[in-house]
């Protein structure tokens, strides 16, 4: 099954989802085509006008263009998601306020799809880590 | 770029005895046409998707609970990201944090392997007012 991750580029979640036999939907896959496209001589690092338009499918016109541009990448992944894992309480260094707001909106879009969701927090000690990995395994096994 | 080409990051957990050099040599010895670049946290692999995944599986056998991986959007040595070309690495803070947490995840994987039931982690409560008062008293003259 295809599992949407939050943070969408999390190493820990990507590895655990693959390890337990599912397909992770990550930001890296979404960006891959964008940054390696041969059609554009210098593929863009930032959002393009087209992205902002595509993002309109996922966010209203009043939402800042940076968030809509990010959602143009996240959105198709959310559409494919059959389940999701959210990891909360990420350190501030994980991204700017724009990233945080996009993540909030992405989580809302996933919840609206009514797919199974597992919400966790970043582990701070051994006990929490054990509980986290066991919960991820049980959640993923339950999906099969 | 061919859509069948995959770039993958290989991370060695801080608690592992393996070194990035060992990983790179191991991949070279496999001789399956996968490009490997040694990095501070492990290695970057690039090549046809199936070959890269096979290499990842072989690498995992070296230290199953301490080798982690994820795909990467940018190709190996891409000048927009490669440090040798003064590329930026905006996701590094996250990678660094998650890399440090890998030794905790390793404990979780061992727990799953043994089929143990982990103890329920204690719920974090709010700091009692008395403790906060003590802290304030300590820093105020």
If one counts the domains in chain A, the total is: 1
Q: How far is B1 from chain A (nearest CA, A)?
A: 6
Q: What is the pLDDT of residue A52?
A: 79
Return the closest-CA partner of residue A66 out of A76, A45, A52, A50.
Answer: A52
Q: What is the pLDDT of residue B123?
A: 78
Q: What is the pLDDT of residue B111?
A: 92
Q: A12 vs B101: CB contact, 8 Å cut-off?
A: yes
ipTM: 0.87
Q: Which of A 55-114 lie inside 8 A of B, CB atoms?
A: 90-91, 93-95
Q: Which residue of A has its CA nearest to B91?
A: A94
Q: What is the pLDDT of residue B140?
A: 87
Q: What is the pLDDT of residue B66?
A: 94
Answer yes or no: is B134 within a domain.
no
Task: Confirm or reject contact between B41 and chain A (CB < 8 A).
Answer: no
**Domain of A56?**
2-143
Q: Report in angstroms the alpha-carbon separations of A86 from A50, A132, B32.
A: 28, 12, 36
Answer yes or no: is B133 within a domain.
no
- B120 CB neighbours in chain A (<8 A) are 131
Answer yes or no: is B128 within a domain.
no
Q: CB under 8 Å, gap of 24 or more: what pairs does A23-30 form?
A: A25/A77, A25/A80, A25/A81, A26/A77, A26/B70, A26/B71, A27/A73, A27/A74, A27/A77, A27/B73, A28/B70, A28/B71, A28/B72, A28/B73, A29/A77, A29/B71, A29/B73, A30/A73, A30/A74, A30/A76, A30/A77, A30/B73
Q: Taken in order B124, B128, B133, B138, is the CA torsion positive or negative?
A: negative
Query: What are B8's strand-pairing partners?
Result: B45, B71
Q: What is the pLDDT of residue A133?
A: 94
Answer yes or no: is B101 within a domain.
yes
pTM, to two decimals: 0.88
If one counts the domains in chain B, the total is: 1
> What CATH number does the domain containing A91 carry?
3.40.50
- A91 CB neighbours in chain B (<8 A) are 93, 97
- A27 CB neighbours in chain B (<8 A) are 73
Q: What is the pLDDT of residue B1?
A: 64
Answer yes or no: is B46 within a domain.
yes
Predicted confidence pLDDT, tens digits, chain B (141 residues): 677 889 999 999 999 999 999 999 999 999 888 999 998 889 999 999 999 999 999 999 999 999 999 999 888 888 777 777 777 777 778 888 899 999 999 999 999 999 888 888 777 788 899 999 999 999 987
| pLDDT lower than 70: segments of chain A | 38-47, 144
Q: What is the pLDDT of residue A51?
A: 78
Answer yes or no: is B61 within a domain.
yes
Under 8 Å CB-to-CB from B24, ≥6 apart: which residues? B36, B37, B38, B43
Pairing between strand A83-88 and B5-12? unpaired
> What CATH number does the domain containing B29 carry?
3.30.70
Q: Which residue is it, tokens 């992405």? A: A106
Answer yes or no: is B23 within a domain.
yes
**Domain of B72?**
5-114
Give ∠ CA B97-B100-B105 in degrees, rounded to 5. 110
How far separated are the first and last CA of chain A, in Å rounded?
Answer: 8
């Amino acid at each position: 099954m295809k599992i949407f991750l939050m943070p969408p580029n999390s190493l820990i979640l990507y590895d655990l989802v693959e390890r337990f036999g599912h397909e992770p939907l990550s930001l890296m896959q979404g960006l891959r085509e964008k940054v390696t496209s041969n059609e554009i001589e210098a593929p863009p690092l930032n959002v393009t006008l087209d992205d902002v338009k595509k993002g309109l499918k996922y966010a209203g016109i009043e939402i800042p263009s940076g968030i809509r541009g990010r959602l143009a990448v996240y959105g198709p992944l959310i559409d494919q998601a059959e389940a999701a894992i959210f990891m909360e309480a990420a350190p501030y260094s994980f991204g700017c306020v724009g990233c945080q707001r996009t993540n909030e909106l992405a989580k809302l879009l996933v919840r609206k799809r009514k797919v199974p969701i597992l919400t966790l927090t970043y582990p701070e000690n051994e006990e929490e880590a054990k509980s986290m990995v066991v919960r991820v395994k049980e959640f993923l096994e339950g999906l099969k | 770029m061919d859509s069948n080409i995959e770039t993958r990051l290989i991370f060695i957990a801080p608690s592992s005895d393996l070194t990035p050099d060992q990983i790179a040599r191991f991949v070279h010895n496999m001789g399956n046409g996968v490009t490997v670049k040694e990095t501070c946290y492990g290695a970057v692999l690039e090549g046809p998707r199936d070959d890269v995944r096979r290499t990842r599986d072989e690498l995992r056998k070296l230290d199953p609970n301490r080798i982690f991986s994820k795909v990467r959007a940018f190709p190996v040595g891409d000048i927009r990201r490669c440090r040798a070309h003064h590329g930026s690495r905006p996701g590094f803070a996250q990678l660094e944090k998650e890399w440090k947490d890998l030794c905790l995840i390793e404990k979780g994987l061992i727990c799953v392997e043994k089929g143990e039931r982990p103890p329920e982690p204690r719920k974090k409560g709010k700091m009692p007012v008395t403790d906060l008062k003590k802290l304030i008293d300590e820093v105020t003259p």
